[in-house]
Amino acid sequence: MNIETPAIVCALRMHAEHGAVVRLMTPDDGLQAAYVRGARGRRMRPVVVPGNQVQARLRSRTEEQLAHAELELVHSRAPLLSEPLPAAAIDWVTALTATALPEGQPYPRLYAALDALLALIEAAPSALGWASLLVRYELLVLAELGFGLDLDRCAVTGSNDDLVAVSPRSGRAVSATEAEPYSGKLLSLPKFVREGGAANWPEIRDGLELSGYFLLRDVLTGRTAGLAEARSRLVERLLRAGGLI
């Protein structure tokens, strides 16, 4: 391996006395694990913070060998870690990326979406400005892993009009007329999920419930099940920020 690339730090695990294994999300080479020498030192400790943008040089002699990385800080998001809600959001999305994705497979759409989400978390004056994009990122993770929802047409009629719900069994959209008899058994489909744009807090709550249901069912299982706690803490803080609990 011989790669030089921009990257987003997604996870850090201390290794040996002075180093650490980092997981980096890259635009063309997907998730990459690499050993960073001196990661615990004064110079490197501020660099290997999840959410930071870095320029990475990855080297290994064989495909089986853990790569060694040299990292140069491009942009630090460490100051956000003192703010509870942005810190919880960064912790969750980077941890999800680092653990849910297989290593070495390119996910250019996920890299671009993660980069945009982190930038918006940093720039928006409140969580209302980025929470809808968080939901869309979670749904994109599901889609890229092969668990995407079918939200283009009604599962019953085939129409793309007035889609308001999602079947928790099939992950397919349902129109208002067809959803009415099953009130309380379907997941709400907020408009911003299909069309983008701004969302209010009740819509964000519904979006989080939608993406969370399928993440818990299809992705946060086995060794990744512990991530559900980090997401629950974030969702609780978001709902409190929106005055919904």
pLDDT, tens only, 16-70: 778 999 999 999 999 999 999 999 888 999 999 999 999 999 999 887 789 999 9
Q: Can you give the pLDDT at residue 63?
A: 75
Please give the torsion angle defined by the CA atoms of residues 162, 166, 167 and 172, in that order, rounded to the nearest 10 degrees. Answer: 80
Q: Can you give the pLDDT at residue 40?
A: 85
Q: How confident is the model at residue 11 (pLDDT cuts 50, 70, 90)?
A: very high
For residue range 105-164, what is the model confidence (pLDDT) as tens digits?
Answer: 999 999 999 999 999 999 999 999 999 999 999 999 999 999 999 999 999 999 999 999
CB atoms within 10 A of CB 95: 19
Q: Can you give the pLDDT at residue 56?
A: 98
Who contacts 65 (Cβ-Cβ below 8 Å, separation ≥6)?
none
Q: Name all domains of the chain by residue range, CATH numbers in brackets.
A: 2-76 (2.40.50.140), 80-151+189-241 (no CATH)
Q: Amino acid identity, residue 160?
A: N
Q: Can you tell me the mean pLDDT for 89-110? A: 96
Three-state SS sequence of 6-22 = EEEEEEEEEECCCEEEE
Q: Can you give the pLDDT at residue 2?
A: 92
CA distance 143 to 16: 37
User: Which residue's structure tokens are 């810190």?
Assistant: 87
Radius of gyration of the chain (CA): 19
CA distance 67 to 61: 8
Q: Can you tell me the mean pLDDT for 84-90? A: 96
Nearest of 88, 18, 3, 4 to residue 48 by alpha carbon? 18
Strands 30-36, 67-75: parallel, antiparallel or unpaired by DSSP?
parallel
Q: How confident is the model at residue 1 (pLDDT cuts 50, 70, 90)?
A: confident
Asked if residue 24 lies in contact with residue 45, where contact means CB atoms within 8 angstroms, the answer is no
For residue range 181-240, what is the model confidence (pLDDT) as tens digits?
Answer: 998 999 999 999 999 988 999 999 999 999 999 999 999 998 888 899 989 999 999 999
Q: Can you give the pLDDT at residue 225?
A: 83
The helix (H) or strand (E) run that includes residue 163 is strand 163-166
Who contacts 48 (Cβ-Cβ below 8 Å, separation ≥6)?
9, 12, 20, 22, 36, 39, 71
Q: Can you give the pLDDT at residue 7?
A: 98
